[in-house]
Structure 1
Amino acid sequence: MLNQEIKNSIEKSVLCWLATADNENMPNVSPKEVFTFYQDKYIIIANIASPQSVHNIMQNPNVCVSFVDVFVQKGFQLKGRARIIKQTDSEFESLEEPLLKMTKSKYPFSMIIKINIETLKKIIAPSYMLYPDTTEAEQIEDAKKQYLSK
């Protein structure tokens, strides 16, 4: 399910946004810095400081993860069901390995959010649709001007 285009997009993204909801459907969205793909159908996220996300997933496993390259202004929205993997779980060590490489062991975490991806769709900035001749190079240049001028 996670093709090379999606994997490349994940690798280029600095943050992802994890949307969860509790058992009363109250939403919560929070940024996650340490995340990657695992095999071809999972997203894994290190739980560094996300008690509300964990609490919500324990009540309602349906989640959405979004990530966008801020310069190209393209990315993906992935939906699926999440599980909390604790250090005591048998699969923790294998899931932990790619996340530790990312953090260089600087961020301690004792839980991993593992999301089984069920659906996905592209995220594309409206400017690509409003101005079909827009190139990624132009989008990057415009984004750099906007971000660097602030």
Structure 2
Amino acid sequence: MIEINADVEAIIKEAILSFVATVNEDGTPSLSPKASLTVRNGVLYFADIASPQTIRNLRRNPAVEINVVDIFQRRGYRFKGRALILPPGDDEYLTIADWVQATNGLEYPVDHVAKIETTLITPLLSPAHVFADPPRSQDEIRITYYRKYGVKHIGE
């Protein structure tokens, strides 16, 4: 398993929304948004709050890919690996469930927690990073996309 470093963890926290891809029974892809992706002790986890198809798919085929991109930094990461569905009452399950409910409120049910055995992490960079000539700084990219999305950064 590949351990998650500080930059990856920071992107996950800042981006908030990630997308989890699994494989349906008929072999077609299934993509599910998650706002519960988190890192604990260098390991990825997400909670199943309202994604029964994701859990069914992972029980049958634990292959998973997760993408997380900070829309303002225009960068993120792709994770490939295998998911383990943790049983309720497991210490790791409780840690993630407690975090989800502390963050979102007790009305958010945590039906399952998936622990990801990460086998590959690759950076995702938008063309804003790759093709700009001359290259732009991360701050320039961030400011450009705050404007593009009509977001006023608190620091401005």
What TM-score, normalized by structure 1, do the two folds share? 0.88
1:144 equivalent in alignment to 2:146: yes
Structure 2 counterpart SS, 1:2: coil
- Give the conservation status (yes or no) of the 8 Å contact 2:22–2:54: yes
- Give the conservation status (yes or no) of the 8 Å contact 2:97–2:110: no
State the shift of 1:53 in Å: 0.7
State the shift of 1:88 in Å: 4.8
Match of 1:7 in 2: 9
Question: Following the alignment from structure 1 to structure 2, what is the Cα–Cα distance between the partners of residues 91 and 14?
Answer: 20
Match of 1:105 in 2: 106
Question: Following the alignment from structure 2 to structure 1, what is the Cα–Cα distance between the partners of residues 21 and 113?
Answer: 15
State the shift of 1:117 in Å: 0.9
Runs of at least 5 residues in structure 2 that lack an aligned partner in the other structure:
152-156
State the shift of 1:97 in Å: 3.2
Question: Following the alignment from structure 2 to structure 1, what is the Cα–Cα distance between the partners of residues 117 and 103?
Answer: 21
Match of 1:120 in 2: 121
State the shift of 1:125 in Å: 0.8
Structure 1 counterpart SS, 2:149: helix
1:85 equivalent in alignment to 2:86: yes
| Post-superposition CA distance 1:28-66 (Å, at most 9, x none) | 1111012201221x2111111101111111111000111
What TM-score, normalized by structure 2, do the two folds share? 0.85
Q: CA 1:58–1:146 in structure 2 vs 1: closer, same or farther (change >3 Å)?
A: same
Query: How many residue pairs align between the two structures?
Result: 148
Runs of at least 5 residues in structure 1 that lack an aligned partner in the other structure:
none
- In angstroms, what is the RMSD of aligned CA positions? 1.9
Identical aligned residues as a percent: 26
